[in-house]
Chain A
């Protein structure tokens, strides 16, 4: 074999020439070099993609902290938005507004999601459960703006005005599918033998679920609900034509109300540098709240005893 032949072969993947590979030790080592090369390439490729995923998050976080942190001050939390064209002011009303909207959404979304998930995991038959599960998945895929239109048509139009109530309803409906499915999945992960242990003591089905299965699955359930809350906390589209927005306080539940995501949307599109900075700050605050709520909920739940997987 000449040198030129060898160099041609070395450029080919060895799988293309399996016969020659088995011929000489020199080629064998060539093959192993190729294998090592492929190994390194694939390893790097997957690593780079993983790194990309992480860095996207960190770039976003970095941006938020950098730009948001610069313009974040005490006034942001305590003052109403300044009149147009005037610098300063804050988003106190939007922070409270987001809180109220999420509270309303939770009141609607969490009980329905929780009980629906319990039904699917513990009590559902075959056909009806399948239908519920399928519908839930479809609902999860409905674009948030469509849910906004739905709330607009069914709540805003009949009531003749935008309101906190309409916004909270829209967000609450959005919470249901994920809450249902994560609750169901968490409950299904609880081993059957725990249920049998309770049933064998003369516990009714419902009490078994309420006192053994749900507590055992609590960590997963709470994580799921925090996920849905975090998701709807950042929703803008369904709020645009339900809660609308408000540059002042919004007492009660019957008037348009400001919220952080809508504020971000308005301020980021505006022509003022000061508003842009406040939009960044609002983003940081929103993220901070979601993070805090998440950590808080996990701390509360982790004090209980989780079941051990068999």
Chain B
């Protein structure tokens, strides 16, 4: 039953009872997922499959729950007191709520809305995750840092100033640094929470191109307010409205022939 999803072997903490074979083309699956902030329900029975090695975009108006959903996938919601999910989310067939949270977040990385580099040097920012997770042999550390920066298309711009403060970089560079930082620990899934909302169009274009090239390495889920961005980058798109997943399909279908009227209204700009 066990699917081999990556070369490295890791200890599996499979939820008891997961006996059906897990399809290789699905990376994560949410089913019947409700979510509550205190007494307020923010998500209503979300069911969604994240395809392996693809970019999945989540769109919808502000407050529709797309970011909330994203933050469930790596259990980031746990930083909010009294936030509580109810339902099932599987990563390669494993219940993420049963996984060790540190282990889960190692496998499911995240890039945030605003660039949030650590107040350290560029090198130390990338090396941080490797050091923390004990993935760094002394010799390979600088190689690993270089690899991550190259993947994030930042190497050429920073290779001569690796020991400068990360704050010396521009906003777009900082965001690519954050992507490189997340990639350094070789996550299987990368969550991106409106990664371009604080950036100008040129920096945005660079990041979109970068995401496209990352598809070989990991599965991505991107929350975006920008419908063009979803149309340009994503293979699949989910439309959220008032805490419900209204429609989920291939991006081309969502944008050309949406099945639901709400989706059509939103993408044609009739509201939102």
Contact = CB atoms under 8 A, between A and B. Distances in A.
Contacts of B114: 193, 310
Contacts of B31: none
B116 A199 contact: no
A307 interface: yes
Contact of A304 (B112, B119, B133, B178): B119
Interface string A209-229: 001100110000000000000
A203 B132 CA distance: 7
Interface residues of B, number: 30
B251 interface: no
B128 A196 contact: no
B102 interface: yes
Contact of A201 (B79, B120, B165, B182): B182
A192 B79 CA distance: 9
A207 interface: yes
A202 B129 contact: yes
A192 B81 CA distance: 14
A191 interface: yes
B76 A211 contact: no
A3 interface: no
B128 A202 contact: no
A194 B118 contact: yes
Contacts of B128: 198, 201, 211-212
Given A211-B128, A305-B119, A199 B112 contact: no
A200 B133 CA distance: 12
A305 B165 contact: yes
Nearest to A191: B116
A39 interface: no
B185 interface: yes
B167 A196 contact: no
A310 B117 CA distance: 12
B79 A200 contact: no
B176 interface: no
A254 interface: no
Contacts of B119: 194, 215-216, 304-308
A215 B124 CA distance: 13
- Among A195, A199, A215, max chain B CB count under 10 A is at A199
A194 B166 CA distance: 13
Interface string B97-139: 0000011111101101010111111000000110011000000
A199 B165 contact: no
A307 B167 CA distance: 8
- Among B74, B76, B116, B133, max chain A CB count under 10 A is at B116
A154 interface: no
A200 B165 contact: no
Contact of A197 (B102, B167, B178): B178
Interface string B156-168: 0000000001110
B188 to A, nearest CB: 12
Contacts of B120: 215, 305
A204 interface: yes
B151 interface: no
A34 B26 CA distance: 78
A11 to B, nearest CB: 59
Contacts of B103: 202
A215 B120 CA distance: 9
B29 interface: no
Contacts of A203: 102, 105, 129, 132
Interface in A126-144: none
Contacts of B66: none
B239 to A, nearest CB: 25
Contacts of A194: 116, 118-119
Contacts of B165: 305
B54 interface: no
Interface of B: 74, 76, 79, 102-107, 109-110, 112, 114, 116-121, 128-129, 132-133, 165-167, 178, 181-182, 185
20 contacts: A193-B114, A194-B119, A196-B76, A196-B79, A197-B112, A197-B118, A197-B178, A198-B128, A200-B76, A200-B109, A200-B112, A201-B105, A201-B182, A202-B104, A202-B105, A202-B106, A202-B107, A203-B132, A212-B118, A305-B165
Given A193-B114, A196-B76, A197-B112, 14 more contacts: A191-B116, A192-B79, A194-B118, A195-B79, A198-B118, A199-B105, A200-B74, A201-B106, A202-B102, A202-B104, A203-B105, A203-B129, A305-B165, A307-B119
